[in-house]
Amino acid sequence: MPKRQMKLTAFCHPPGHWLMPGAKPTDMDFEECVHMARVAERGLFDMLFFQDSAAVAPAFYLPGGGAEALAEAARCVRLEPLTLLAALAPMTKHIGLIATVTTTYNDPFNVARKFATIDHISKGRAGWNLVTSQNVDEAQNFSQNEHMAHDLRYERAQEFYDVVTGLWDSWEDDAIIRDHDTGKYIDPKKVHVLNHEGKHFKVRGPLNVARPIQGNPIIAQAGSSEPGRELAARTADVVFTAQVSLEEAQAFYSDVRGRMPKYGRSPDDIRIMPGIRYVLGHTESEAKERYDMMLGEASIEGMLKSVQRLCGDLDIRKYDIDGPLPDLPPSNAAKARQKMMIDLARRENLSIRELARRFTFSLGHMVFVGTPKRLADFMEDWFTRDACDGFTMLSPYFPEPLEMFVENVVPELQRRGLFRTAYEGRTLRENLGLKFKPHRVAAQRETVPA
Ligand SMILES: Cc1cc2nc3c(=O)[nH]c(=O)nc-3n(C[C@H](O)[C@H](O)[C@H](O)COP(=O)(O)O)c2cc1C
């Protein structure tokens, strides 16, 4: 049996550390996005993943935020990711293209239609990171005063997924025949009207795009709370997650996989990919120097904002910055992320100042600072000890860290037989080693003889 190999995602987000020498504006500059995509493709990454939020980060609206905070904020603007995927598709050949789209502030018909279109344009390389929105400020851009409650967001997400995947099955794979001899464009027996009526949505269908090339574009999920895990177990092909120790990653890996059989799925039908926020150097001291440079960039006021967004109604600035993190009220933004931050503060006995410094850089993820060889050791360790199926690599800025990863870490992983030396398939699904998603009606017809 061939050796199991890890999967890699390049996480693309507006770069926080824009002051670093050589950092390029990938948030708004399409040429730089193409450059980034080509570097990742040269490194045989499975996919590029564009994170998203439909609002400027809440930090800027906090009391005392204002112009100063905005001046140092490097994550306030970005290109709309689905439009970006469509533009990147013809500029790349193999790499998967994933974008975040929220189920809280969208309608399923539009989302089904857009991802199906990108799947066709890219010839089977599209993926949807289905989120319920961690940024509470999105509500006010969509005619709401308050962000929808966490459990209701997940309830809506479950139904949203059912409608989108139902619409993707509007047309069987061979429904469009374009038969010149008979003059028939479609086979009407292979068109299906959804007629969905549920608590949140009423959608007739059919979709006006043919079935996606991959059957279903890849579904990624990135919530780690209880309902987030349940949604992942039922629906996800890929799970993005933040895990900060081997033991926690192993527990998460076995927990999500363990929930799958009750949805009729095998644990091998999912790829779980924790994030690594990495800083590389040719020597340990060079890497450490870069890390210190980045930690030193933000003001304490700016850093506190990344903690504040997980503090619910409590104003963290009223507390002694060199004292411990107070007990926090529940957050309606990102429950798993809040728990992780509290656990980190308690476990390492961190002051609010130190927690803010660490959390701002890590974005809640595992932080690695060191040489390429040691990063390969670290990845091998987690991968071979049942903590994951691969990794989501979070560059602190672009393009140098990603280039250094591709030139130094990828060959090291290949030498160890842990990573591919060429793309195996044509579609993202094939490269991830996941099965084509059969059409639900056609599949049933094949198993039940007429
Ligand atoms: C790697 C990663 C990427 C994420 N990307 C997004 C994103 O683009 N937009 C978003 O609203 N939430 C994003 N999230 C947050 C989750 O999707 C989720 O909405 C949030 O954690 C709240 O869910 P939870 O309470 O189940 O954890 C991301 C999380 C992780 C780990």
The full set of domains in the chain, from first to last, is 7-285+365-447 (3.20.20.30)
Average pLDDT over residues 137-161: 95
Look up residue 380 and give its DSSP letter.
Answer: H
- Report the C-alpha gap between 18 and 333 in whole angstroms: 26
Specify the ligand 1 atom closest to the Cα of 135. 11
With 60 as the cut, is the pLDDT of residue 171 above it?
Answer: yes
Q: Say how many C-beta atoms besides its own lie within 10 A of residue 229's C-beta.
A: 21
Average pLDDT over residues 5-21: 89
Looking at per-residue confidence, does 172 or 313 come out higher?
A: 172
Tokens standing for residue 310: 């997980």
Name which residue sits closest to atom 28 of ligand 1, judged by CA. Answer: 222
- Report the C-alpha gap between 124 and 215 in whole angstroms: 9
Q: Among 100, 134, 136, 154, which is best to mutate for testing ligand 1, by the most ligand atoms less than 8 A from CB?
A: 134
Name which residue sits closest to atom 14 of ligand 1, judged by CA. Answer: 222
Average pLDDT over residues 131-152: 93
- Could you tell me if residue 279 is left (phi over 0), alpha (psi between -120 and 50 degrees) or otherwise beta? beta
Specify the ligand 1 atom closest to the Cα of 131. 17
The percent of residues above 90 in pLDDT, for the chain, comes to 76
Specify the ligand 1 atom closest to the Cα of 242. 31
Tokens standing for residue 39: 């570097």
- Cα of 440 vs centre of ligand 1, distance in Å, is 29
Name which residue sits closest to atom 8 of ligand 1, judged by CA. Answer: 51
- Cα of 308 vs centre of ligand 1, distance in Å, is 17
418 pLDDT band, cuts 50/70/90, is very high
With 60 as the cut, is the pLDDT of residue 63 above it?
Answer: no
- Cα of 340 vs centre of ligand 1, distance in Å, is 13
pLDDT at residue 119 in the model: 98
pTM over 0.75: yes
- Report the C-alpha gap between 310 and 287 in whole angstroms: 29
- Cα of 222 vs centre of ligand 1, distance in Å, is 5
- Report the C-alpha gap between 52 and 13 in whole angstroms: 8
Tokens standing for residue 427: 């579609």
Specify the ligand 1 atom closest to the Cα of 228. 26
- Cα of 406 vs centre of ligand 1, distance in Å, is 26
Tokens standing for residue 369: 């600072």
- Cα of 204 vs centre of ligand 1, distance in Å, is 30
pLDDT tens across 39-59, in order? 999 999 999 999 999 998 655
With 90 as the cut, is the pLDDT of residue 61 above it?
Answer: no
Average pLDDT over residues 318-331: 90
Q: Among 9, 51, 130, 363, which is best to mutate for testing ligand 1, by the most ligand atoms less than 8 A from CB?
A: 51
Ligand 1 binding site (Cβ under 6 Å of any ligand atom): 51-53, 100, 102, 131-135, 222-225, 228, 240-242, 275, 334-337, 392
pLDDT tens across 360-369, in order? 888 889 999 9
